[in-house]
Amino acid sequence: MSVHTDVKRISVPQLMACKGQRKIASLTAYNAPIARLLDDYLDMILVGDSTAMVGYALPNTLTITARQMAFHAAAVVRATQHACVIVDMPFGSYQESPEQAFRNCSMAMSSSGADGIKMEGGAALAPTVRFLVDRGIPVLAHVGLMPQYVNTMGGFKAQGTTSEAAERILKDAVAHEQAGAFGVVVEGVVEDLAREITARLSIPTIGIGASPDCDGQVLVTEDILGLTGTRIPKFARQFADVGAVIRGAVEEYARGVREGSFPTMDNCFGVKKK
Ligand code: KIV
C-alpha cells in the first residue's frame, strides 16, 4: 500500500519536519523503471553518484560527470510524483569554488527538476553550502565515509574510529547545519558517533552504515534487491532476490525462443483473431 495520501511531491521543508516525528525512508534510483517502483513508498529518492559503480561498473564514483547525473535525475523526476528527488553532485563539480558549485548545481536542478542536491565534504565545504542555500538550492550534506575521497582516505573504510576523528566529523556535521543544509547523510561511521550527531543536530540525519537512531535511512536499491552481483555490504540487507527472478525469466524466454514456443501468432501483426 502506498504511504502517500496526496499527489503532491514531498518538499524539502516537509522532510525537515520529520525530525523527531517519524523516520525518513530513502533509497537510490538512477532510472525511470526503478524510480517508478520506489515512488509510492519512500519520502526521498537519491539519484546517487553510486550509479558510477552500480550502473556503469566503474571501480569508484570519481569519473561520472554533472551532466550524466542530471540526465539520470531527469529520468527519475519524470517517473515519480511523490518522493522528494535529490541529485548527488559528482566529484569535481563543486569543490573548486562556491561559484562553480552554483553553476553545476543549478544546471543539475534546472535540467532535471530535482528538488535539491547532495554533496560530500567536511567543514571546509560549509561556505559553499551557505552560498548555495542563500541562492535557493537545498543542500543535503554528506559526512563520514565520503566515497569521493576514496584516494585520500585510502579505501572505503569506517570513519570516526578515533576520538579525534569522531570529533572532526561531529564538527563537520554541525558546520553544515549552521551553513543551512536541510539534512546530513552520515555514512560509514561508528554507531555512537552517528547517534551523537543525530542528537546534536536539529536537522535530520540520514544514515547508511551509521545507527538505527538516525532520523532516516538510505541504501543503494540494487543492494536490497540482490541486483549488484557482489557480496551485500554489512550495513545493508537483501530484502528480495530480484536477480534470481530476472535470471529465471530470461532463461525461460531464451528457451522459448530456441524451442519455438515464443513468439506465437498472438505476438504477430496482421493476423486475424478467429
Ligand atoms: O551515491 C550514493 O548512492 C550515496 C548514498 C549511498 C548515500 O551517496
Question: At 142, which CATH number?
Answer: 3.20.20.60
The predicted-structure confidence for 67-110, as pLDDT tens digits, reads as follows 999 999 999 999 999 999 999 999 999 999 999 999 999 999 99
- Asked whether the whole model's pTM tops 0.75, one would answer yes
Name residues whose C-beta falls within 8 Å of residue 24's C-beta, 6 or more positions apart in sequence: 15, 18, 43, 44, 183, 204, 206, 215, 216, 217
Domain identity same for 139 and 260: no
Number of H helices, E strands in the chain: 11, 8
- Measure the CA–CA gap between 120 and 179, rounded to whole angstroms: 14
Residue 6 has pLDDT above 80, yes or no: no
- Mutating to test ligand 1, I would choose from 27, 38, 49 the residue with most ligand atoms within 8 A of its C-beta, which is 49
Question: Are 139 and 257 in a shared domain?
Answer: no
Q: Which three cell numbers stand for residue 263?
A: 513468439
Tell me, yes or no, whether 89 lies in a domain. yes
Residue 273 pLDDT > 90:
no
Mean pLDDT in residue range 135-161: 95
Residues 106 and 199 occupy one common structural domain: yes
Question: Mutation test of ligand 1: which of 88, 117, 148 has the most ligand atoms closer than 8 Å to its C-beta?
Answer: 88
Q: How far is the CA of 48 from the centre of ligand 1 (A)?
A: 5
Same domain, 168 and 192: yes
Query: Are 232 and 258 part of one and the same domain?
Result: no
Query: Which is the catalytic residue, given 120, 187, 196, 222?
Result: 187
Regarding whether 247 and 228 lie in a shared domain, the answer is no
Q: Quick check: is 187 catalytic? A: yes
